[in-house]
Every structure is written in structure tokens, then in C-alpha cells.
Amino acid sequence: MNATAALQERIRTKSARIGIIGLGYVGLPLMKAYWSAGFHVVGFDVDPKKIAAIKAGNNYLKHLGDDYVAELIRTDRFDATDDFTRLTEPDAILVCVPTPLGRHLDPDLSYIEQTTDAIAQTLRPCQLIVLESTTYPGTTRDVMLPRLIKSGLSCGEDYFLAYSPEREDPGRKDHSTQSIPKLVGGIDQASGELAAALYRQAIHKVISVRSAEVAEAAKILENVYRAVNIALVNELKIILTEMGVDVWEVIEAAATKPFGYQAFYPGPGLGGHCIPIDPYYLTWKAREVGHTTRFIELAGQVNHQMPDYVIQRTMLALNDHGKAMKHARVLVLGVAYKPNVDDVRESPSFELIRQLRQLGAEVSYHDPHVQHTHPMRHYPDLPSMQSVDLTAEMLSSTDCVLIATNHDACDWGLVARHAQLIVDTRNAMIKVANIQGTVVKA
């Protein structure tokens, strides 16, 4: 039996072992999905604290629920390790590592490269490797494949290589890892077919595409689409505000059209693990092949400037209340990048806090999901902060409440009754009654 047939049989009978590299927002739910499907799973991560937490049954991703990990460790079909020499054990290795940007908005593929080198050192016949990390078209073939070739094995015959983009949306309740359709593209036909067969065991709907490059480009398109449309409504917000028109009302009115329009909403800037980062992977690759991405880069500029606009609106609002920004007591509501999660990756709240402090404001924050901040790669000078209690006394003694994230768990009625000045970047106060102070939308 050749390697293709042997691996197909192991996948079909669920006797294949699944290795997940990177146990973060993508890898941990993926590991749970394959475990739930009946496979034996092994999680790999370079962070020993994550491994220790998992083995103790503690879930460090709170939006998934307290018992999310505890269920895994009660069975003999699960293990977690930081020992990458054990990569010889899995029959399928799914790579879910970070793909951040460098200082000059260039792709940082170091995590993919290091992980691929580790796989190459233990690579054996009859293994399938699938990259899930978001990246530019050509990464799987041009970055991973040459490193794996060093093993001396032949791709498509001895081992198999494919790409399947992650589509996680932390905190979303109407979809899960299993229910979100999965794109799969292989380096070759055999690799693509094996990867699709593997995902069909755990994911409800799997769509095969012609190549890894198609799947890579599709993921980039998904996030460019969002970035560009968010930039559009952010730009409209600035223009319409000057015209005395509420952009939120405009969006609600436009959304009544049953076709040809999809609602996007403005905010204080982009956050999260995808939209602020992924479009720049395409702009970098485009320059490599002699083209520019003017539309995408313009959207990036608009979104990147939104914290500046919010700070300007906050300064003007304080001025109207007879307060200077210097020494003003400002409470930032929400540091997570979106509602109802504890995910602070690329959150614009930290840029707001940085600028407020730079202008001399006394800044505190409240976030029911983020009790304390940790050192941020882009903000090395920001001190660690603790979330303050949201009380009537705190709100009354604050010169300005700046709403950066509209968590459901925030007591918006309390804010309405006791805050003197509210700068609202999320339209959070629109349905709150008995607002005693002044609300300025930003």
C-alpha cells in the first residue's frame, strides 16, 4: 500500500493521529474539533505555560468557556507538549502559528519558517502537513516546501502538503470551528485530496480549490474586503459628522435594502488578528511582482488614522466642557478589540491610551473581560494597568468616559446616569435611556 492509500485509510478509520502546532485562538478550537470527531490529538506549543495550563485542565481562552480544556484531559485521546521531537508521532500536522507584521509592515514569516524546519527534522513517510496561518499567495509552495524537501522525501508521494485558511472569529455564537466552511488547496492533487478528506472528518462543509495559492489568496481577499469596507464607513463618519449627519442612522437606513448592500460599521480603529494585518501581506507580495495596491493601502491609511480622529473629538468635547486634555481624568471603556471577548490583539484601545497619556491625561480603563494588561509589542512604554471597578463614584469623578469597546457586560445604564461626558465610538449609548451627561459620537 502506497503512502496516499495508507493515509487515506487512517483518516477514514479515524486511526490517524492529529498534531496541532500553535494552541492559540485557532489551534485550540481546531484541536477540540478533531478530538470531538473521535481522533487522537496532540497539541504542540513553544509556550510551556500554555502546556501546563492545558494539562491542568485550565482554559486560557476565556471566551471558549471554563470547561473547554477540562473535557479533553479526561480521556486518553489527548496530549499536549512543548517537545517538538514528538512531531514524528502525528499522521497529520496542522500548523496554526502567528503571522505578524514587521516594523515596516512587511510579513514576518519567522514562525512559519521555524515551525517548518522543526517538522522537516522529524518528517517521515505518510505524513500530511497543512498550513492554516494567514499569509500571502505562494507561502506554502515557496517557503514551506523547500524546507521540507531538505528531508530527502518527495512531496505528493512520501508526504503531503496543503493550505487551509483559518476562519475563526473569537466570541461568535452563531458559528463554530465545525460549522464554518473550510477551504482546502494542495501543493499537488494528492495533497489536496488528502487534506480535504481529513477536514471532512471534523468540519461540516469542505470546499476543495485547485491549489494552495487559490486558498491563500481567498483568505487574503476575505480580510481585504472587510478592511476596505470598514475604511469606507470610517471615512464617511468623518465627512457626515461635519455635515451634521449621524453615520449610524445612515447605515441603518441603507441596510433596509434587501440586495446590493452589506452593512459595515465604523469604530476607533481596526483590531484583531486578521484585518489590521493580512492586507499588508498582499501589498508586500504585489510590490515583489511589480505592482502597487493603491486601494488597499488607502484603506489602511484611513483605518490607521481613526484613533487620531477619536482623540481630536475627545479634546474638542473636553474643551466644550471647560476642561483641557492635560490632567483630565479619562476612563476608557473596553480594551478588547471587539465586544464580549478578552482578545486584545492589535486593539485600537492601546493607541488611544498611548495618545491620551502623551497629551497629559490621567487614564484608567474598565473592561469586564480583561482584568489587567500585559506588555504590548507595539507599546513598550505603556505600563501594565488594572481594570477599575465601574461604579457611580468612579463615573462621577471622571471628566470623560471614552467608549472604545461595547461589551454587553458593561452597565450602560450606570454610565448614562453618572458620566458627565461620554465620547462614544461604537454607538453604544443609542438605546440607553435617561442619559444625564453629554454624548459625543466619535
CATH class for the region spanning 3-210:
alpha beta
Supply the pLDDT for residue 26.
Answer: 94
H or E segment to which residue 256 belongs: none
CA atoms within 13 A on the CB side of 225: 8
- pLDDT of 1 higher than 80: no
Q: What angle do CA 374, 118, 198 make, to 5 degrees?
A: 95
CA atoms within 13 A on the CB side of 12: 7
Higher pLDDT, 101 or 311: 311
**Which amino acid type is present at position 371?**
Q
H or E segment to which residue 267 belongs: none
Per-residue confidence band for 173, with pLDDT thresholds at 50, 70 and 90: confident
Confirm if 367 and 387 have CB atoms less than 8 A apart: yes
- pLDDT of 101 higher than 90: no
Supply the pLDDT for residue 105.
Answer: 82
- Residue closest to 128 by CA, chosen among 1, 11, 206: 11
Higher pLDDT, 174 or 310: 310
What number is the average pLDDT over the span 387-405? 97
Tell me the CA distances in angstroms from 39 to 19, 152, 199, 236, 282, one per residue in order. Answer: 10, 29, 12, 49, 35
H or E segment to which residue 359 belongs: none
Q: Which residues belong to the active site? A: 274
- pLDDT of 273 higher than 80: no
Q: Which residues contact 439 (CB under 8 A, 6 or more apart)?
A: 422, 424, 429
Lowest mean pLDDT among 19-28, 49-58, 239-248: 49-58
Domain ranges, ordered by start, for the chain? 3-210, 220-302, 305-441
- pLDDT of 183 higher than 90: yes
Q: What angle do CA 134, 346, 175 make, to 5 degrees?
A: 60
- pLDDT of 366 higher than 90: yes
Supply the pLDDT for residue 27.
Answer: 94
Is domain 220-302 classified as CATH 3.30.70.3450?
no
What number is the average pLDDT over the span 316-328? 96
Q: What is the distance of C-alpha 191 from the center of its chain?
A: 27
Supply the pLDDT for residue 277.
Answer: 87
Per-residue confidence band for 404, with pLDDT thresholds at 50, 70 and 90: very high
What number is the average pLDDT over the span 53-57? 89
Regarding the domain with residue range 305-441, which homologous superfamily does it belong to in the CATH classification?
A: NAD(P)-binding Rossmann-like Domain (3.40.50.720)
- pLDDT of 196 higher than 90: yes
What DSSP string describes 378-404? Answer: TBTTSPP-BPPP--HHHHHT-SEEEE-
* Strand ranges for 52-178 from DSSP E: 78-81, 92-95, 127-131, 159-163
Question: At how many degrees (to 10) do helices 278-288 and 212-243 cross?
Answer: 110
- Rounded Cα gap, residues 323 and 266, in angstroms: 27
- Rounded Cα gap, residues 89 and 86, in angstroms: 6
State phi, psi for 301 to the nearest 5 degrees: -65, -45
Q: What is the distance of C-alpha 65 from the center of its chain?
A: 18
End-to-end Cα spacing for the chain: 65
Q: Do domains 3-210 and 220-302 have the same CATH topology?
A: no
Supply the pLDDT for residue 90.
Answer: 98
- pLDDT of 206 higher than 80: yes
Q: Which residues contact 272 (CB under 8 A, 6 or more apart)?
A: 337, 338, 343, 345, 346
What number is the average pLDDT over the span 421-441? 95
Mean of all residue pLDDT scores within the chain: 94
Per-residue confidence band for 127, with pLDDT thresholds at 50, 70 and 90: very high
- pLDDT of 78 higher than 80: yes
What number is the average pLDDT over the span 93-113? 92
- Residue closest to 17 by CA, chosen among 74, 122, 94, 69: 94
Q: What proportion of the chain, given as a percentage, has pLDDT over 90?
A: 82
What number is the average pLDDT over the span 66-95? 92
**In this structure, what C-alpha cell is assigned to residue 227?**
478592511
DSSP 140: I
Supply the pLDDT for residue 305.
Answer: 96
Confirm if 326 and 360 have CB atoms less than 8 A apart: yes
Residues present in the chain in total: 442
Supply the pLDDT for residue 63.
Answer: 80
What number is the average pLDDT over the span 130-151? 96
- Rounded Cα gap, residues 361 and 199, in angstroms: 51
Supply the pLDDT for residue 374.
Answer: 84
